[in-house]
């Protein structure tokens, strides 16, 4: 069971060819006072998995949450074109860290979790370029205001990390690691 309504995470998980269902967890995603970004995304991933486990206790649950850390601040999904433009202009020329919290919860309540970092070096971006990008891609539901799987790749001069799927919201290498820790072999589950 995938604890997400994200079409991006669903598309990634489908690559493993393991049957699954999706449901949207209902949790408060407000950062806690003094909470660092790594703890924040892992906490939310665990809460998402736990919330679905209360409804589907017999299932394995995957919870995931992502945030962008820009100049030491947690930045989420922009929601509006104006906020996306502000985020991207602030990221212009900067090295930005993306953190994805991941939790695999067993039917017995055992949790396996990690925080997957990924770094992006943004090119220098003009307001006109950012405006054009937002109009073409509409990245309003994406942490960091870009879609790396689309035109967002043109905004970067370098990517650094072990799994670029992290930028889409579900680190597949990390998920495989957690599955193996839990005693699940993805290739044996694939159809």
Active site annotation includes 163 = no
The sign of the torsion formed by the CA atoms of 23, 97, 159, 136 equals positive
Instruction: Name the catalytic one among 21, 26, 28, 65.
Output: 65
- Catalytic positions, written as ranges: 65
């Amino acid at each position: 069971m995938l604890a997400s309504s994200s079409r991006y995470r669903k598309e990634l998980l489908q690559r493993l060819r393991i049957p699954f269902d999706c449901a949207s967890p209902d949790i408060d995603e407000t950062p806690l006072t003094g909470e660092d970004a790594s703890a924040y995304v892992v906490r939310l991933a665990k809460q998402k998995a736990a919330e679905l486990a209360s409804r589907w206790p017999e299932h394995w649950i995957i919870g995931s949450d992502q945030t962008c850390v820009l100049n030491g601040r947690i930045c989420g999904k922009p929601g509006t074109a104006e906020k996306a433009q502000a985020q991207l202009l602030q990221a212009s020329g900067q090295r930005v860290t993306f953190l994805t919290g991941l939790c695999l919860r067993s039917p017995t309540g055992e949790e396996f979790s990690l925080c997957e970092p990924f770094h992006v070096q943004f090119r220098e971006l003009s307001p006109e370029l950012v405006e054009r990008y937002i109009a073409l891609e509409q990245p309003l539901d994406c942490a960091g205001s870009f879609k790396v799987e689309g035109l967002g790749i043109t905004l970067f001069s370098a990517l650094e990390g072990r799994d670029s799927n992290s930028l889409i919201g579900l680190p597949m290498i990390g998920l495989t690691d957690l599955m193996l820790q839990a005693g699940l072999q993805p290739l044996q589950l694939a159809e």
